[in-house]
Amino acid sequence: MRAVKFRDLPREEWGPYVDVNLYGVLNCVKAVLDGMCERNWGRIITISSGAGTQGLNIGVSIYGAGKGAGISFMRHIAMENAGDGVTANTLALGLMQRDEPGISEDQRTVTAKIAKTVPAGRLGTGTDIGYACVYLASEEAAWVTGQTIAINGGSATT
């Protein structure tokens, strides 16, 4: 994904954003939904982005549109399949820590500055997301469906 304002993004470059962020969700749900409904139990959890729930002035409009469409789809899936014991929820992530080899010192400095803007004082980690997924996949979350849960250290609230 590259940051670019929508008006500067040629139409021929829209496809990958929609293919990954909407059709990727559709394909994954289609692959598992029938089996879950037949067993009268299932948990569908998609990982999305806060860019799909709020407008941002950082050049991610087409990315956010794809994410938003996936979020909306999950709400419909939740309503259509709740009676079959299947829940469907989305985690909308905020800024996440990237521990990749080859990150420059300049990138680390920028990341540290960004982390200071998050009320929790740090960026999210895979562990943070994992805990939310464990709960949503549990029997205890049987009555939680159709929700988009912001996991963002308080950087955006609803």
Q: Whole-model pTM? A: 0.91
* Domains of the chain, start order: 6-151 (3.40.50.720)
Where do the DSSP E strands lie in 6-137? Answer: 42-49, 86-93
User: Rounded CA gap, 121 and 31, in Å?
Assistant: 39
CA-to-CA separations, 145 to 56, 72, 101, in angstroms, rounded: 26, 13, 37
Under the phi-then-psi rule, with left for phi > 0, alpha for psi from -120 to 50, and beta for the rest, what region is 40? left
Quick one: average pLDDT of 119-127? 95
Query: Which residues are designated catalytic?
Result: 63
What single-letter DSSP state applies at residue 144?
-
User: Rounded CA gap, 25 and 45, in Å?
Assistant: 10
3-state helix, strand, coil in the chain (%, to 5): 55, 15, 30
Average pLDDT, the chain: 94
Quick one: average pLDDT of 48-69? 95
Are the CB atoms for 156 and 50 separated by under 8 Å? yes
Chain-centroid distance, C-alpha 133: 12
Where do the DSSP E strands lie in 6-140? Answer: 42-49, 86-93
For the chain, give me the number of helices (H) and strands (E)? 5, 3
Tens digits of residue pLDDT in 16-35: 999 999 999 999 999 999 99
Q: Classify 13 as helix, strand or coil.
A: helix
Indicate the pLDDT class of residue 158, thresholds 50, 70 and 90. Answer: confident
